[in-house]
Structures are given as C-alpha cells and as structure tokens.
Structure 1
C-alpha cells in the first residue's frame, strides 16, 4: 500500500516538472526572438546613419582660400598638367607678361591669378584638341613682381614684396612694425589712386575691422607715436601716448590726477600756433596738444 501510494504521488510531480520546463523553453525562445528582432533593426539602421553622417557638410570643415595673388613679370611659376608630363613647365613670366607652353605657344599670364591662368591653359588645350579633359594646376615658385612701399615708424622701411600673404597686417609685421600706444593710425595710398585711407591698427589687430588686401605699388605710411604733453600742477607731468578719443579727464587719470595745489576744473590747452584756451575735462585731445593744469585759487 505504501509503495502504491508513493508511485501514485510521483506522477503529478513529474507532470508539473515537465510543464514548468516547457514554459521556460517558451519564454526563452520568446526572448531570443525579441533579441534577434532588435539586432536586425539595429543592423538596418546603421548603414543609413553612416550615410547621413558621411553626407553631412558640417562634418567637413571648409578651408579658407588666401587672397588672390596677381601675377606679373619675373614671377616664377610651375604649371602641372596631371597625367601629361610633356605639358609640365617651370618658368618665369617674361617682361611682356607671357609664358610659353608646349604646343599651344604664348599664354598671357600678367594680370591673372593662378586659377584664371590655369583656366586659360585648360581652354587652350581643349580648343586645340591636344587634350580632352585636362586638369591643370599652377603654383607660384617665386614672388618677384608685386611690391608695396612702407615708410615711417617700422624696423625696415622700403619695398616689401607681396608674397603668399598680401594682407596689410602681415606686411606690417614683416617690416618690423610694433603695436604701440599712440601709434595706431596709419595711412594707405593706393597705386590705383583715390582718397587716402586712414586705418586704425588697434582695431585691425583685434579683428574688429576686416584686413586690407594690398595691391602692387601701394604706399603705407606709419606715423610716429601720437602724444600729448601734460604740464602744471599735476602728480606726474610728462609726455603721454594719445589714445583714440582721449579726453582731458582720461589724461589726468593716466598722470595720477591733479597735484596738491592743482585745480580739478581749470586747464589750459595750447594747440599748434594758437593761443592757450581754457578747457574742461570733457575736451577731446589731439596729437601734439600741450595741456596745463592750473593752480588752485586759495
């Protein structure tokens, strides 16, 4: 009886175990299918994401082209026609402004940039049925034709060649110019004529105004530092650099204020050959002004 009872009790236990095992397999298979579906969705999405990333222009920085250099006589250039070495030339632009290319002959180079000259050579090669779709590249090997003249407060006055950079600030630095207080306003005379340009180098160096592209024959005048002279009952009389739109009050602040016997509201100004006049603290000063702090009336 006990044996039969144990045997009869074992049957439901085995059935329950088999049922649990089957349920676990179903759940396992369901999870596996979900994972496979997720991986498949990711695999489909990745190529489109990669294509979008590759196509995005924001991911590729665009280089800034330097200002165009105008070619002239005696400049050295190298002309390369890719895959067609028989057309490659390293030469110097002649006095008449031309170069000589194989088969196509003389080509006008003076007055062109390397890009426009390459376009002209390309056109001539195609027009003469020498090449169907040439790729022409030109580099300047020696800058020899374009110069500007710089005069005044710089380390090296005279002619400065316009090489790979023909920007005003670069030319100033190459000539030994040093930024100084009171020496901020330079004058540019264009070879092409027109009015003189007054340029504030303090704004130029700080990037507040766009740099100036120089041209062959331009003249740059760099003045001595602009100063004002302070005398009278002041803490530190002397010579001071003139800053832009400087007032009498700003000058006094630089000089440590009025002296013990000085008047904070009585100043004399002598400008050029004119007689001394009375001014207040709001007066804007000019280069060469002589300012006197008057004694206080006790």
Structure 2
C-alpha cells in the first residue's frame, strides 16, 4: 500500500513538474501514444477476421504460383501469352512477287515500231493500249497477246505473228512502254500516313500498300482488311489461303471460288508472315485497312505511392513488377500481398489472381504477365497495419516535441 501511494505520489509529482516547467507537449505525446497502443489490438482483429473468413476461397480465386499452404495455381489457359508486335515481323514474306516491274500489264500504253528495211516507208510506228483481255491490236497483224510479257518477249511475239501471216520476212520489232498503268489504292488505319497511293500492278499487294503509306504506326494491330472493288476472273492466280496463316478461323469474307479473287478478305500479319504463303493482292480502287489497337489501361491501387490508371504499352510486355514501378513503388515497407483482378472473355465474374511482391522478384510465375484492363491491388496485411501504427506513433511523438 505504501508502494502504491509512493508510485501515485511520484506520478503526480512528475505531472506537476511537467506543468510547472510548461513542457505540456511531452504530456500530449504520451497520451497519444497510449491511445494508439490501446487501439492496436482492435486494428489487428479487424484485419485478421477477414483473413480468417477467407479460408473458403471462391471458385475464381487462383495463385500465380503454387503456395506451400495449399491453394489452386492459375491454369495455363488463364495465363496471358506474349503480345505479338507486327512491327517486328518480316513483312517481305507477304510480298506478292507477281513479276518484274517491266512486265506489260492491262491498261499500259505501248509504242510498237516495225522496220522491214532501211527505207523510211518500210518503217511503221503504232501507239496502242493493252486491252482488258491482255491483247493489243496492230494494223494488218491484228490481235497479239502481250500481257505479262517483258518488252523483249513482246517484240518476239509480234515478229513471229507478222512472219506467220506473210506480212514481213524478217522484220525488226521494237516495243516501248510509254506509260504504265497504276493501281490507285487507298490505305487507312494504323499507318504512318493515310492516303491514296499509286502502285504498279505487278507489285500491287498489301505489303507495297503499307510501305507506300510509310509503314505501320506504333498502334498497329495484327489484322489487315483488304476491300477490292469486285471479284475478277484470275485463272492463273491462286486465291489467298482460306485461313491466311491462321488455322483458328476463316479470313475470307467473300467469294472463294478457285477462279475468282475475293472482293474482300482479312489477314493476320503475324501468322501469315510466319507461314510465308499466299498472295495478298490489291486491285485498282482497292482499300487496305490496318487495325488500330486501343487497349484499355491497367489500374494500380492500394499500397503504392501513385495509385492511378496507366496506359497499356502496345507491342510490349508488361508484368506485375513493371506495373508497381509505374505506380512509384510500394508505399509500405511490409507490403507483399497483391491481387490481380482480370476480366476473362466469356465469363461474367472476373478472375482473382493472388501473387507476392517478394516472390515476383525471384520467380517469373509470380511476376505474372498483365493484360489490358487488369487491376493490380496491393493489399493490407497485419504486417502493413503494424508498420502504419509504428509510423503514426513515431510521427505523434516526434511531431509534437523531442522527448530527449
């Protein structure tokens, strides 16, 4: 009893001394410290109860890697694969390669000179246009097929026909391509310079059209749609393959007859370039539309310094640690538990993926690949709450006055 009275007297004297010295800041700090210590069990219980209640996990709750205490690992079909970048693809494998630029095509204007002797009267010059059937019509000689031939081959063809008809014995024939017809092709979408461009019919394909427009833009997708003005008889030309390098679905959207080129079709640049098959031609008046990618942003929230939404990088890989870095890093030294909320196509309920900050630094499985629209949430844990309490206490004590 005497000890208790002595202790109370000592405390009263200590408080009286504080009041007499005017150092009331220390007293306020001690009261604040006592309040925080009393609330610590309440905060810990409020955090532990939800954790204990979460023992029965939902059907859509997975772990980025198998935890030692049990739990379902994220299946492979829910893991995202590396995003393909069309700008890294060798598009030259898609070039039509229909022939030399000197080949004579429909609509070209030619000048044909025929010389039977040295005298001026023995020479004739005729300007002709290559007709839709691929032939030219010359005086006396008549119709001669020249489409697809180079000038030297056309000269031999005309000479042979003139001799066959006994018009000349051994004429000298010269063919000049005075004006080559161009295909006017409009290029739209994710290219560097949209517009209408003129292409040689011998190289009027998807690759040449994209190159004329300055190449693919940074937001270019994999899909390219070609709209030709109509189906045309092309018996010597194969149609684009029905799958266009992609076995998961048809890309032909119009007639696919063996003797007809489709009026409209779509190709996957990445898969088609890998296969290197097919001729993706564009006719005069055709339209090439390159897909634009505009992925939704990702969201980073919780115990990070700059919780916000961030643009999803196009054509680049984004993993969990990258997203945390975009948000300025962790705001709590004890933060470790992370949830990734992902909406899966065809499912009404989102998938919840649990990972670990520390494990992600050592394991590629834990450092999960993120997709457009993912939500990354750094969660509170007993450790983060304890750290917050220590920070509050430290601020409460040092923020009012210096004890020593």
TM range (shorter): 0.5 to 0.7
Q: Distance in 1 between matches of 2:279 and 2:159?
A: 32
CA shift for structure 1 position 294: 0.7
SS in 1 for 2:220: coil
Partner in structure 2 of residue 294 of structure 1: 377
Partner in structure 2 of residue 172 of structure 1: 210
Partner in structure 2 of residue 71 of structure 1: 105
Q: Distance in 2 between matches of 1:281 and 1:93?
A: 63
Residues 81-116 of structure 1: per-residue CA shift (max 9 Å, x gap): 68979354333334665422243123345x534456
CA shift for structure 1 position 290: 0.5
Matched pairs, number: 222
Whether the aligned pair in 2 keeps the contact of 1:162 and 1:216 (CA below 8 Å) is no
Matching residue within 278, 283, 294 for 1:216: 283
CA shift for structure 1 position 124: 1.6
Name whichever of 209-218 and 129-138 sits farther off.
209-218
Show the 5 A alignment for 1:36-75: 66=100, 71-73=105-107, 75=108
Residues 136-190 of structure 1: per-residue CA shift (max 9 Å, x gap): 444251324x3444332343345x4322743534322333x45333314241447
Partner in structure 2 of residue 255 of structure 1: 326
| 1:89 has 2:122 as partner | no
Show the 5 A alignment for 1:17-28: none
Q: Distance in 1 between matches of 2:281 and 2:112?
A: 25
| 1:196 has 2:230 as partner | no
Show the 5 A alignment for 1:275-286: 275-279=349-353, 281-283=367-369, 285=371
Matching residue within 219, 225, 229 for 2:297: 229
CA shift for structure 1 position 127: 2.3
| 1:241 has 2:313 as partner | yes
Q: Distance in 2 between matches of 1:256 and 1:87?
A: 79
SS in 2 for 1:172: helix
Partner in structure 1 of residue 162 of structure 2: 125
SS in 2 for 1:89: strand
TM (normalized to structure 2)? 0.42
Whether the aligned pair in 1 keeps the contact of 2:223 and 2:266 (CA below 8 Å) is no
Cα distance change, pair 229–103 in 1 and its aligned pair in 2 (3 A) = same
Cα distance change, pair 150–170 in 1 and its aligned pair in 2 (3 A) = same
CA shift for structure 1 position 223: 1.5
Q: Distance in 2 between matches of 1:224 and 1:296?
A: 35
Q: Distance in 1 between matches of 2:368 and 2:131?
A: 61
Q: Distance in 1 between matches of 2:218 and 2:325?
A: 13
Show the 5 A alignment for 1:108-147: 108-109=145-146, 112-114=148-150, 117-129=154-166, 130-132=168-170, 134=172, 136-139=174-177, 141-144=179-182, 146-147=183-184
Whether the aligned pair in 1 keeps the contact of 2:104 and 2:148 (CA below 8 Å) is yes
CA shift for structure 1 position 293: 1.0
